[in-house]
């Protein structure tokens, strides 16, 4: 599983096990970290200082802005009507519409979340295992299937110190 020469890789990008990723035709921003067993397809754009954990799938049409966290096994989709064959039983090849996803600056997506083509707002938090079918507002915390807003990271997330030390 190679890192194809068509990939544009920024300064100080770390791909921890390059022999265990499949990255082709994507743009990877400066200082981003990518774990093993990640696939990033042609046309995907990853910003600077992102963390992409193992087993993530990022297809064409996904744009991830700077400082975003993508947890283990996160899956993005880019086709809202996927199918293998048409009504005549012939394989579908080019008969699909690319649907785009935008993950804004500073968002965090928990492990095993699935995202349909949506916009995830700046600083938003997607809970682990959530299925995101609608746009997520800036700083919203969303969880569940389908994901729903349960809070705002600005009032829930510790601001300073170490979580649990009573000073956050």
Which secondary structure element, helix H or strand E, spans residue 8, and what is its range? strand 8-9
DSSP 74-121: -EE---SS--SB-TTSPBPSS------EEE-TT-EE-TT-EE-S-EE-
Are 35 and 70 contacting, i.e. CB atoms less than 8 angstroms apart? no
> Strand 147-152 relative to strand 125-126: parallel, antiparallel, unpaired?
unpaired
Helices and strands (DSSP H and E) totals, the chain: 1, 20
Q: How far apart are CA 76 and CA 65, in angstroms?
A: 15
Q: How far apart are CA 137 and CA 141, in angstroms?
A: 9
Q: How far apart are CA 33 and CA 96, in angstroms?
A: 32
Active site residues: 72
């Amino acid at each position: 599983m190679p890192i194809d020469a068509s990939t544009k890789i920024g300064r100080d990008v770390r791909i921890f096990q390059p022999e265990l990723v499949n990255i082709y035709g994507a743009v990877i921003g400066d200082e981003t970290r990518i774990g093993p067993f990640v696939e990033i397809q042609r046309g995907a754009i990853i910003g600077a200082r992102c963390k992409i954990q193992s087993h993530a799938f990022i297809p064409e049409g996904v744009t991830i802005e700077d400082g975003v966290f993508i947890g283990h096994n996160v899956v993005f989709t880019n086709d809202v009507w996927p199918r293998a064959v048409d009504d005549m039983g012939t394989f579908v090849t080019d008969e699909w519409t690319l649907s785009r996803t935008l993950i804004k600056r500073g968002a965090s997506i928990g492990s095993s979340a699935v995202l349909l083509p949506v916009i995830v707002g700046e600083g938003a938090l997607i809970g682990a295992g959530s299925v995101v079918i609608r746009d997520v507002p800036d700083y919203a915390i969303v969880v569940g299937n389908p994901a729903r807003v349960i809070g705002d990271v600005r009032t829930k997330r510790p601001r300073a110190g170490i979580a649990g030390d009573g000073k956050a």
